[in-house]
């Protein structure tokens, strides 16, 4: 956790209404530092990961990899580091395009997403998986 220029605390994926560095569209703060455990870094072996990755792009990469391939410990770290709100926002933005339907359902349940919304995301993930199979 670090302080913003205006003094508002920033944590990964937490809602921040104080900092000008936050994304205005969703008021999600990307101005944060998260220490990535070595087990999660192992999931990113095909990337040249900087010592302290930060920003929206790295956040999406880390979230996607842990959701799709992480161990139970990695998943608990992800939830504790980014919070349900940010993970649900990722699912809404990209999850159904990049995750298997099973992972979408699992994470939607973890994030307390309403069933009808989760059903739509899973259906979209199923359609995307079918498109790849032909």
Q: What integer pLDDT is reported at residue 58 of this predicted model? A: 87
Sequence ranges of the domains in the chain: 34-133
The span from the CA of 16 to the CA of 88, in Å, is 16
Average pLDDT for 90-103: 94
User: What DSSP assignment string belongs to 53-85?
Assistant: --SHHHHHHHHHHHHHH--HHHHHHHHHHHHHH
**CA proximity to 131, closest of 101, 94, 106:** 101
| Tens digits of residue pLDDT in 70-85 | 999 999 999 999 999 9
Decide the pairing of beta strands 2-3 and 9-10.
antiparallel
Alpha carbon 69 to its chain's center: 13
Residue 65 pLDDT exceeds 50: yes
Q: What integer pLDDT is reported at residue 112 of this predicted model? A: 96
pLDDT bucket at 33, cuts 50 / 70 / 90:
low
């Amino acid at each position: 956790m670090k302080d913003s220029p205006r003094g508002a605390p920033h944590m990964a994926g937490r809602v921040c209404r104080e900092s000008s560095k936050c994304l205005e569209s969703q008021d999600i703060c990307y101005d944060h530092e998260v220490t990535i455990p070595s087990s999660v870094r192992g999931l990113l072996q095909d990337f040249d990961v900087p010592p302290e990755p930060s920003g929206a792009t790295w956040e999406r990469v880390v979230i996607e990899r842990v959701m799709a391939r992480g161990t139970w410990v990695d998943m608990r770290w992800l939830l504790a580091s980014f919070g349900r709100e940010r993970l649900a926002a990722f699912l809404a933005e990209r999850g159904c395009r990049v995750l298997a339907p099973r992972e979408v359902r699992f994470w939607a349940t973890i994030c307390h997403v309403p069933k009808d919304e989760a059903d739509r995301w899973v259906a979209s993930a199923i359609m995307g998986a079918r498109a790849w199979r032909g």
